[in-house]
Structure 1
Amino acid sequence: MKVIRDPIHDYIELDDLALSLIETPQIQRLRRIRQLGFSNLVYPGANHTRFEHSLGVYHLAKQLIKQVDEQQRNELLAAALLHDIGHGPFSHATEEVISRYTRKSHEDIEELLRKGEISDILKGYSLSPSAIARHIRGETNPGQIIHSEIDVDRMDYLVRDAHYTGVAFGLIDHVRLIHEMKFNENKLVLNIAGLQAAESLLVSRFLMHPTVYFHHVSRIAESMCHHAAQYMIENGLDPKLLSRMDDCTFMMEMKRAGGYASEIVNRLDERRLFKRALYTDFHSVNIDVTNIRKNTKRIENEIAQSAGIDPGYVLVDIPEKPVIAEMKAQVIINGKMIGIDKASNLVASLGKAQLDNWRLGVFTPAQYREKVGNIAREFFEVKKELKQFKLTGI
């Protein structure tokens, strides 16, 4: 048994299985992948990593596995530690492009569990790689501890991200939440006594999206990184190799790639980011962005052609419509399971307000900002703002 000091959970106790897994290159790589990608360009303290987050998830999972069959406890603890080893460099910044070219999300890690040091360790403890992979994807009943509507993964990252960014939205009583969670009819549910703690988590997540996760500077930097990664893959980089890189290795590869990728990495290094030519909410767009989201490359080419600039200098960012997964969580009231949005007017209100956090962005270098903005507003049929006039009297 070894004890590690953690700024969020104070002390984390690691057993022999955890210590063996932590020493593998696959988990050590997570020390070199920032949890929040490029958010440190907004919040200088946001340099925490996937490694410490994984330790935090492991720690919280230990509090809940007491309700699970003893035979599955080691599987779940291993899953908690290993759940993020599929992330590429800069976390979500490269996730979409890696998924597109490999057809695998960061949760599809069974292949990684079946080879190398991790495979040997799992065999030594008679643990099944396929079972661990299913737990991570939330495909098993006990796996809901790690992947479900209210799970230990989001409990840790919300508190940890708030701590390192310094925002005041991460006040979550995860100890109370865990104490009031239990399995009922193979479903991880919440006792009514934990409802306020769950409301706090939902409010925190709702407020963290516009201020941290979807801050426009982060979105611009991530879009630039995404396009540089796509450029490199189209020019010969193996996407599987990209998925195994860490942040520093990827930055060096971008520099070596030359051309567009080299320019983008220099801009990221020096914080010379593209600017917002268009940045508008869901209600201001007259076309159905859901249907055109898969065609962003074509849209970028059209806007760039109209503006007379290279396509790589028009970045269109159309996030998926926001969905609060926690809205599907179940609360036990008088022995019956009901949706959390039915148990809480506050949660129901958050569900209605979630579209307020959605933004469509078109980013370009400063010198093209006005021209690209005018073309983008026409393309997306952005409603004109109504001017307000004061009545000065008759």
Structure 2
Amino acid sequence: MVRLNSAGKPGTSCYPKSICGGDSQGRPTGLLPGPMESVKFCPFGSKDPQDKLKGDCLAGLPEDSARSGREQRYSGLLMLKGCGTETKWGEPDRTFGPTLVRSALFVTGGVMSKIIQDPINGPIKVDGLIEELIDSPEFQRLRYIKQLGLLNLVFPGANHTRFDHSLGTYYIASLIGDYFHIENRETLLSAALLHDIGHPPMSHSLEDLFLKEYGKDHQGVGGSIISGRGEYSGSSIPAILEKYSADPSLVGQVVEKGSKRLPLISSIISGSIDADELDYLRRDAFFTGVAIGLVDHMRIINTVRIVGGEFVIEEKGIPSAESLLISRVLMYNSVYFHKTGRIAQNMLGIALSLAEQKPVDPFEMNDWEFIEFLRHQDGSSRIIDDILKRRLFKRVAQYNFSNARLDELNHVLENADRSTFIVDVIPPLSFSGKDRIKSEIKAIRGGNIGQLESFSPLVRSLSETLETRNIIISARQDSVGGIEHLLRQIS
């Protein structure tokens, strides 16, 4: 570690400014690439006593961090000459200990790498292609799109973003790719990182409305952004991919609908057990504060094998696969289909329908650009204001779903102001429980390969759980009485 004096000058083991960077008063502003002669390379696992692994190189570095570096096969840490025992950044009372070392640059195979600290997966190493994709404006937009849309109105901690989740998906895909020695690594990692690049504002909240209004979904838009097709020909992504000899069209195919040329990679991105889900279930559970999306992703990865070009769960991994499916169902029931969250999402849909003008292309907007667009229009401003101040519609009634009952409700309410009430079916009619929980996972038991549900009575019952639907009626607070009066006609 390194001590800096208040002037940021050499003489007390100061980092050279070419490495640290500095402001006009000499205070360092952060680690920046500098001349290689200014740094010392400390290899992990070296048997040469001159490397002083327990001395200069890892001074102050917690053992778990050192171990993590070795396990993740980093070649070593780039440390500056003259390691002290602590780091003081300008002011004598500000001490930056091992944190600075942990955020140092790593070198893998002679390539400079950066470490991004993720609260779910820990340190994530990025370099070259992935680093440039992350820095692209298309990917940076995801910083401002919440992973769960308006569910932070129900779960206050749910402010994580598509940016966070995309990094996590990249990390999980890298683990799977390393474990199975997947070829076309650039395609795999690029597709994993960019799988949500086409997401519109508010994530899945308005996807059905956007599909109806614009004829687009996020997979199709993502494929176009990655390959630079059509109206997204100005995307910066294709040039970055080509710079590193990755095929934009192939990466776009994997993201959009899967590639027949690369079935394993397509399965890792979107399959019965995929990197996307192994990240978002854990991430969503963590940030919503529920303890039902806990998945042992490493156990699952380590008990999967490839048979006939497909991923199959070994018998010893069946309990972990069952746990994954249970987590899927519970997260849908408790989080994704939370009744209050659905009310907020439907209110946003009403706001979009009331807007005099529609966005030219919402798929190029982030959450706040979209909200501000609607907030400044007369037709939608009131309901947007209600959402922002959490003046949500109140639940009025609930019915068991049937097509006949839904038709009856729509008939009774046909003359009411459609902007003052919501008729919601949960789960939505477009939702297939069997498809969404992906119960078609294959497993092997006693030498026989079959659907996991054929080996597990628990799995057989799971998809049925999400096929039970309810009709929820909610209304604006000043319209509750009128809607209740109309509903009295229901037998």
Q: Decide whether aligned partners of structure 1 residues 323 and 229 sit closer, same or farther in structure 2, where only a CA change above 3 A counts.
A: same
Q: Residues of 2 paired with 1:313 and 1:104: CA distance?
A: 28
Once the two structures are TM-superposed, the CA of residue 138 in structure 1 deviates from its matched residue by: 3.2
Once the two structures are TM-superposed, the CA of residue 11 in structure 1 deviates from its matched residue by: 1.1
Q: Residues of 2 paired with 1:376 and 1:34: CA distance?
A: 36
Q: Residues of 2 paired with 1:363 and 1:139: CA distance?
A: 43
Q: Tell me what 1:222 maps to.
A: 345
- Paired residue for 1:324, among 430, 434, 438? 434
Q: Tell me what 2:137 maps to.
A: 25
Q: Given the two structures, how large is their TM-score scaled by the length of structure 2? A: 0.69
Q: Residues of 2 paired with 1:370 and 1:343: CA distance?
A: 52
Q: Tell me what 1:118 maps to.
A: 237
RMSD: 2.2
Q: Tell me what 2:200 maps to.
A: 88
Amino acid at match of 1:144: S
Check conservation: 1:162, 1:168, Cα contact below 8 A: yes
Once the two structures are TM-superposed, the CA of residue 305 in structure 1 deviates from its matched residue by: 4.1
Q: Residues of 2 paired with 1:22 and 1:222: CA distance?
A: 29
Q: What are the superposed Cα offsets for residues 23-64 of structure 1, whole Å, 9 maximum, x if unpaired?
A: 011111111011011111111111000100000000000011
Q: Residues of 2 paired with 1:303 and 1:267: CA distance?
A: 26
Check conservation: 1:278, 1:361, Cα contact below 8 A: yes
Q: Residues of 1 paired with 2:192 and 2:481: CA distance?
A: 47
Q: Tell me what 2:43 maps to.
A: none
Q: Residues of 2 paired with 1:12 and 1:207: CA distance?
A: 28
Check conservation: 2:393, 2:421, Cα contact below 8 A: no
- Paired residue for 2:311, among 176, 179, 188? 188
Q: Residues of 2 paired with 1:248 and 1:38: CA distance?
A: 12
Q: Secondary structure at the match of 1:271?
A: coil
Check conservation: 2:343, 2:392, Cα contact below 8 A: yes
Check conservation: 1:138, 1:148, Cα contact below 8 A: no
Amino acid at match of 1:211: S
Q: Residues of 2 paired with 1:376 and 1:39: CA distance?
A: 28
Q: Tell me what 1:257 maps to.
A: 377
Amino acid at match of 1:345: P
Q: What are the superposed Cα offsets for residues 136-155 of structure 1, whole Å, 9 maximum, x if unpaired?
A: 23344121001012211111
Q: What are the superposed Cα offsets for residues 150-204 of structure 1, whole Å, 9 maximum, x if unpaired?
A: 2111111110011011111022101111112232222222112211111111111
Q: Tell me what 1:10 maps to.
A: 122
In the alignment, structure 1 residue 287 sits paired with structure 2 residue 419: no
Q: What are the superposed Cα offsets for residues 330-363 of structure 1, whole Å, 9 maximum, x if unpaired?
A: 112233321111111111121332234x332222
In the alignment, structure 1 residue 315 sits paired with structure 2 residue 438: no
Q: Residues of 1 paired with 2:181 and 2:215: CA distance?
A: 32
Q: Residues of 2 paired with 1:322 and 1:376: CA distance?
A: 29
Amino acid at match of 1:212: V
Q: Secondary structure at the match of 1:101?
A: helix
Q: Residues of 1 paired with 2:383 and 2:309: CA distance?
A: 48
- Paired residue for 2:358, among 218, 221, 237? 237
Q: Residues of 2 paired with 1:271 and 1:250: CA distance?
A: 18
- The structure where helix makes up a greater share of residues is 1
Check conservation: 2:293, 2:330, Cα contact below 8 A: no
Amino acid at match of 2:358: L
Once the two structures are TM-superposed, the CA of residue 377 in structure 1 deviates from its matched residue by: 7.3
Q: What are the superposed Cα offsets for residues 347-394 of structure 1, whole Å, 9 maximum, x if unpaired?
A: 1121332234x3322221123224424545756x6xxxxxxxxxxxxx
Q: Residues of 1 paired with 2:412 and 2:131: CA distance?
A: 52
After superposition, residues 1-394 of structure 1 pair within 5 angstroms as 1-66=113-178, 67=180, 69-70=182-183, 72-108=184-220, 109-113=222-226, 114=228, 115=233, 116-136=235-255, 137-140=257-260, 141-142=263-264, 143-232=266-355, 235-239=356-360, 241-259=361-379, 261-282=380-401, 285=402, 287=404, 302-306=411-415, 309-318=416-425, 319-320=428-429, 321-325=431-435, 326-356=438-468, 358-373=469-484, 375-376=486-487
Check conservation: 1:304, 1:313, Cα contact below 8 A: no
Q: Decide whether aligned partners of structure 1 residues 244 and 171 sit closer, same or farther in structure 2, where only a CA change above 3 A counts.
A: same
Q: What are the superposed Cα offsets for residues 255-292 of structure 1, whole Å, 9 maximum, x if unpaired?
A: 11122x1011100111001112233343xx46276xx7
Q: Decide whether aligned partners of structure 1 residues 311 and 191 sit closer, same or farther in structure 2, where only a CA change above 3 A counts.
A: same
Q: Given the two structures, how large is their TM-score scaled by the length of structure 1? A: 0.86
Q: Secondary structure at the match of 1:92?
A: coil
The unaligned stretches of length 5 or more in structure 2 are: 1-112
Q: Decide whether aligned partners of structure 1 residues 12 and 84 sit closer, same or farther in structure 2, where only a CA change above 3 A counts.
A: same
The unaligned stretches of length 5 or more in structure 1 are: 293-297, 382-394
Once the two structures are TM-superposed, the CA of residue 69 in structure 1 deviates from its matched residue by: 4.3
Q: Residues of 2 paired with 1:266 and 1:2: CA distance?
A: 41
Q: Secondary structure at the match of 1:328?
A: coil
Q: Residues of 2 paired with 1:31 and 1:186: CA distance?
A: 35
The higher radius of gyration belongs to 2
- Off by >6 Å, runs of 4+ in structure 1: none
Check conservation: 1:94, 1:229, Cα contact below 8 A: no
Q: Residues of 2 paired with 1:242 and 1:230: CA distance?
A: 14
Amino acid at match of 1:323: G
Q: Residues of 2 paired with 1:86 and 1:110: CA distance?
A: 8
Q: Secondary structure at the match of 1:86?
A: coil
Once the two structures are TM-superposed, the CA of residue 220 in structure 1 deviates from its matched residue by: 0.2
Q: Residues of 2 paired with 1:181 and 1:274: CA distance?
A: 46
Report the more deviating stretch, 219-228 or 122-131. 122-131
Paired residue total: 362
